Amino acid sequence: MTEFEEIYREYFREVELYLRAICKDELLAEELAEQTFFQALKQLPKFRGECDIRTWLCSIGRNCYYSHLRREKPKENLDDIQIPDPRKSVEEQLLDRSQALTIHRILHGLPEPYKEVFSLRTFGQLSFEDIGGIFGRTANWACVTYHRAKQKIREQMEE
């Protein structure tokens, strides 16, 4: 599997959900996500890694959306469109009091080990190595479990 295939498999869903949130159209979001990854494939050699790859992909997606709006001659001014910040993580959303309670309710309903790993990482600020040690697992297992927990929280928040 190539590096790009791994990036595509790991981030396509997140980019599509981001695009769905900003354009409010499921079919358009899917089309824009495809365009995003086509552009990313062409630009991957230029990616310097100065930001998270998710942020880079969402930036490309946002630009694809802007291009679509320009082609469609929008009725709205592009400056008036509210675009969510793709860098705002679940942890940052916890700082927002209105979302914190929702996230805590979702977290309470998560099965183990997701609930405990997420709590240890977010609230206990433990390293993945320490979390893995607590469970008798590897740091990689803790990292994967943590990211799966975040994904489960995101999915439930979108519902």
CATH 1.10.10.10 fits 3-80, yes or no: no
Q: Copy the structure tokens of residue 81.
A: 């469109």
Query: Where are the domains positioned within the chain?
Result: 3-80, 90-158
Reading phi first (left if > 0) and then psi (alpha if -120 to 50, else beta), residue 118 is in alpha
Percent of the chain topping pLDDT 70: 80
Q: What is the CA radius of gyration of the chain?
A: 18
Give the least confident one: 35-39, 44-48, 116-120, 127-131. 44-48
Q: Which pLDDT does position 107 carry in this prediction?
A: 79
Q: What is the DSSP string of 36-71?
A: HHHHHHHHGGG---SS-HHHHHHHHHHHHHHHHHHH
Helix or strand or coil: residue 75?
Answer: coil
Q: Which pLDDT does position 85 carry in this prediction?
A: 53
Give the tens place of pLDDT for each residue, 26-80: 888 889 889 888 888 888 777 777 777 778 888 888 888 888 888 776 454 545 5
> 138 versus 71: which is more confidently predicted?
138
Q: Same topology for domains 3-80 and 90-158, yes or no?
A: no
Question: Does 84 score more than 70 pLDDT?
Answer: no
The fold of 90-158 is: Arc Repressor Mutant, subunit A (1.10.10)
Give the least confident one: 16-30, 55-69, 83-97, 118-132. 83-97
Question: Does 102 score more than 60 pLDDT?
Answer: yes
Burial 26-64 (b: 16+ CB within 10 A, else e): eebbebbbebbbebbeeeeeeeeeeeeebebbbebbbeb
- Quote the pTM value: 0.46
Question: Does 116 score more than 80 pLDDT?
Answer: yes
> 19 versus 80: which is more confidently predicted?
19
Q: Classify burial at 97, counting beta carbons within 10 Å of its beta carbon; exposed 0-12, middle 13-18, buried 19 or more.
A: exposed
